């Protein structure tokens, strides 16, 4: 099996690579590439994302044919894809960071700044927070409710259809931190930085 981490110059992805390789050991081949043919032939995709919504969308668009390839992979062929952090946020129709930017439009909704309640809550939301699992998700197999995950973000994904939400976390409000819609998975937190429990989520995705 091939799991491909999409390398589209979205900032620092070494931790994502290290964690997937740690979990995969020799059983699964982990590719890191922006090569469209390799992406197409892959069994599963990981879409990381750091920096702003706009910078990530711009980076995707900068690679000719990448967005079409991703659409074909996740929407037409319905193969498993995991978005992490801004990788998840880009599933939305639109993001408001820096300026209004169109997302991939896979899951209807928007990405807006977390309400800091006039400075009561510091932003970015950095650190370990508990997840409240509200829907069974394949990537949460053997993950206990209220497990701690590592977060670092200032913007949140607000999907229109609440049925896609698999977990929330409490910071200023109930922030969407995990979604599952058919073959599309996403986490706002960083499983690659969430210690053993995070590696378990990566393992669940690899073993889907």
Partner 1 sequence: MLKNRIIPCLDVKNGRVVKGINFVDLKDAGDPVEQAKIYSDGGADEICFLDITASNENRDTIYDVVEKTSKKCFVPLTVGGGVRSVEDINKLLNCGADKVSINTAAVQNSKVVVESSKKFGSQCIVVAIDAKKNGEKWEIFTHGGRNNTGIDALEFAEKMEDSGAGELLVTSMDRDGTQVGYDIDLMSKISFKVNIPVIASGGVGNLDHLVDGIKLGNASAVLAASIFHYGKYSVKEAKEYLNSKGIPVRI
- With helix as H, strand as E and coil as C, how does 70-138 read? HHHHHHHCCCCEEEECHHHHCCCCEECCCCCEECCCCCCEEEEECCCCCCCCCCCEEEEEEEEECCCCH
Asked whether position 192 contacts partner 1 by CB under 8 A, the answer is yes
Binding-site string for partner 1 from residue 94 to residue 123, where x marks contact by CB under 8 A and - marks none = ----------------------x--x--xx
Instruction: Name which position in 34, 40, 51, 141 contacts partner 1 (CB under 8 A).
Output: 51
Q: Is 153 a catalytic residue?
A: no
Backbone angles phi, psi at 53, to 5 degrees: -55, -50
**Which is the catalytic residue, given 110, 156, 180, 192?**
192
Asked whether position 200 contacts partner 1 by CB under 8 A, the answer is no
Nearest to 39 by CA among 15, 63, 13, 10: 63
Asked whether position 154 contacts partner 1 by CB under 8 A, the answer is yes
Beta strands in 88-124 (DSSP E): 94-95, 101-102, 109-113
Q: Is 85 a catalytic residue?
A: yes
Burial of 35 (0-12, 13-18, 19+ CB in 10 A): middle
Q: Looking at beta carbons only, is 71 or 174 nearer to partner 1?
A: 174
Q: Is 156 a catalytic residue?
A: no
Asked whether position 186 contacts partner 1 by CB under 8 A, the answer is no
The site for partner 1 (CB under 8 A) is made up of 11-12, 14-15, 18-19, 21-22, 50-52, 55, 116, 119, 122-130, 148, 150-154, 170-171, 192-196, 198-199
Where in the sequence numbering do the catalytic residues fall?
85, 190, 192
């Amino acid at each position: 099996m091939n799991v491909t981490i999409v390398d589209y110059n979205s900032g620092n992805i070494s931790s994502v690579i290290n964690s997937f390789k740690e979990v995969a050991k020799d059983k699964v081949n982990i590719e890191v590439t922006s090569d469209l043919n390799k992406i197409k032939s892959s069994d599963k995709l990981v879409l990381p994302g750091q920096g702003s919504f706009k910078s990530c969308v711009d980076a995707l668009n900068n690679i000719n044919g990448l967005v079409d390839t991703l659409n074909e992979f996740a929407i037409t062929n319905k193969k498993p894809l995991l978005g992490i952090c801004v990788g998840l946020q880009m599933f939305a129709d639109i993001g408001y960071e820096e300026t209004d930017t169109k997302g991939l439009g896979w899951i209807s909704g928007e990405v807006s700044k977390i309400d800091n309640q006039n400075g009561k809550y510091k932003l970015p939301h950095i650190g370990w927070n508990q997840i409240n699992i509200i829907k069974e998700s394949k990537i949460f197999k053997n993950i206990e409710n209220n497990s701690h995950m590592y977060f670092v973000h200032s913007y949140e994904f607000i999907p229109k259809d609440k049925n896609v939400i698999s977990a929330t976390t409490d910071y200023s409000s109930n922030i969407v931190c995990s979604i599952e819609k058919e073959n599309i998975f996403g986490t706002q937190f960083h499983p690659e930085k969430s210690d053993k429990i995070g590696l378990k989520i990566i393992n669940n995705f690899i073993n889907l």
